[in-house]
Amino acid sequence: MGSGLLLFAIARSSRGTSVMKAGGRAEAMPAGGCPRDVKVFGIGLHKTGTSTLGACFRILGYRVMGYSQALFERAVAHDDPAPALEVVERYDAFHDWPWPLIYRELDRQFPGSKFILTVRENTDAWLQSLMQHALRTRPFGPNRKLVYGYRYPHKHQQAHIEFYLQHNRQVRKYFEGRSDFMELCWERGDGWEALCTFLGRPIPDQPFPHFNSRSAHTTGLSKRMINRILAYLCD
């Protein structure tokens, strides 16, 4: 066990009074804290419908932790998942980075949890979404380099597809035969019925939230132009 995980294991019995926000800042935890319920982890890669999954979690009443740059960098760049594992104590459901990259550690530290692998209907749909997203994000952002080995996917499409397929294969193999794991694809028609049956929750009386992050963001023309240039210059 690494030093970070060892410290986490020692401290786990001591409940803190603050919680890490997505940006890495601490905020006061509401009185009573998080319900001691089964944890649910979304472990599909970025651009597989993770925002939709997070929206579902919120509608179902879970306390949700999504993307965290601070936790991502600690878990991936510094190979230290302990801070992320500590945050798990204070939430119920999780999606986006860093959670798909540390599912083995999550499974070991939180037995009895449930895991959801979100996928796209085919690899091309995932790759096209990833490439479009890369043009809308901050130039020279570190995350894609840390995960995939490249700053932009455009010149390295096959390497990204292989990473996506390998992640899905490894997840399926790891959870093979287990009832605490399910795979979902929104494009193939999965929705409230499949998700709520797996979670043991009643189906909410509202439409399924097909969240399209592209429509939720506006990107300046200059940023897109800069990213288009960098996408074919950078390795």
Q: Name the pLDDT band for 224 (thresholds 50, 70, 90).
A: low
Instruction: State the pTM of this model.
Output: 0.80
pLDDT of residue 33: 35
> Each residue of 146-187: pLDDT tens digit?
999 988 888 889 999 999 999 999 999 999 999 999 999 999
Angle between helical axes of 221-231 and 123-136 (0-180°, round to 10):
120
Residue 34 or residue 104, greater confidence: 104
Q: Which amino acid is at 220?
A: G
Q: Name the pLDDT band for 19 (thresholds 50, 70, 90).
A: very low
Residue of 100, 101, 96 lying closest to 213 (CA atoms): 96
Buried (b) or exposed (e) across 111-135, using 16+ Cβ within 10 A?
A: eebbbbbbbbeebeebbebbbebbb
CATH fold group of domain 36-231: Rossmann fold (3.40.50)
**What are the beta bridge partners of residue 229?**
none
- 94 token code pair: 């999780």
pLDDT over 70 (residue 110): yes
Q: Which residue has the tokens 């979100």?
A: 118
Q: Name the pLDDT band for 10 (thresholds 50, 70, 90).
A: very low
Looking at residues 70-86, what average pLDDT do you find?
A: 96
CB 112 within 8 A of CB 35: no
Question: Taking the domains of the chain in order of start, what are their residue ranges?
Answer: 36-231
Report how far residue 121's alpha carbon sits from residue 67's, in angstroms, rounded to the nearest whole number. 23
Long-range contacts of 160-166, Cβ-Cβ distance < 8 Å, separation of 24 or more:
160/127, 160/130, 161/123, 161/126, 161/127, 164/45, 164/123, 164/126, 164/127, 165/123
Looking at residues 183-205, what average pLDDT do you find?
A: 97
pLDDT over 90 (residue 18): no
pLDDT over 80 (residue 121): yes
pLDDT over 90 (residue 8): no
